[in-house]
A and B are shown apart, each in its own frame.
Chain A
């Protein structure tokens, strides 16, 4: 499976600021996704990062709050904007290939908003 890295691994941010999270894969992948995992909870899909076009957002998530970029087949960023304490979560990048429906996850970014 692909090796996925995320930066930063964790951060503490002030209310009202923004954080950009990077996801890097060691091989080209068809699909890249961003998930949120709130403390003690399961995973919720934020959006599908589309290469060369706007991301596809799930219900309850909007581009103004979670802008996403995907300039190529190995890299994507998620920005969490105008941070509030409710945004404190783990943010996870996952990838899928064209040969299988299986998703593989990065290590996650733990965000704490004060």
Chain B
């Protein structure tokens, strides 16, 4: 069946370092991918997205990479800050708003 999974459930990084959160997806028909950040007690917040006709997209301090050959998605956060501590979810979409969420990775930022 369809699934979106993450390689690591937790990630701990030093403040100022770069963070890389990985995600594997299984549905080759997925054409839209999203990363969400969820802080404690809040709803998921949209970070960045990418469509399947691209392999890289950059935002403010964040970059998403898509490798369709191996069905892999990653989120890179530059110069990680304490405010980046949260759970990060990748999600895939095959069109029409049908979105499947991954298990989530908890990012800890050490001061």
**Residues of A that sit less than 8 Å from B by CB:** 1, 4, 31, 33, 41-45, 48, 92, 94, 96, 101-108, 110
Contacts and interface: CB of A to CB of B under 8 A. Distances in A.
Nearest to B93: A101
Contacts of A4: 43
Query: Binding site of A, secondary structure by majority: helix, strand, loop or mixed?
Result: strand
Give the 4 A-B residue pairs with the shortest CB-CB distance, closest first. Answer: A105-B43, A43-B101, A42-B101, A105-B44
B43 A107 contact: yes
Interface residues of B, number: 20
A104 B42 CA distance: 12
Given A1-B46, A42-B89, A43-B89, A103 B97 contact: yes
Contacts of A41: 103-104
Nearest to A92: B43
23 contacts: A1-B46, A33-B97, A41-B103, A42-B89, A42-B101, A42-B103, A92-B44, A94-B43, A96-B97, A101-B32, A101-B95, A101-B99, A102-B34, A102-B46, A102-B49, A103-B46, A103-B97, A103-B99, A104-B46, A105-B36, A107-B42, A107-B43, A108-B43
A101 B52 CA distance: 13
Contact of A31 (B34, B36, B95, B97): B97
Nearest to A44: B101
Contacts of A96: 97
A42 B97 contact: no
B42 A101 contact: no
Contacts of B46: 1, 102-104
Contacts of B45: 105
Nearest to B42: A107
Contact of A43 (B42, B44, B95): B44
Interface string B21-39: 0000000000010101000
B34 A42 contact: no
Interface in B87-111: 89, 93, 95-97, 99, 101-104
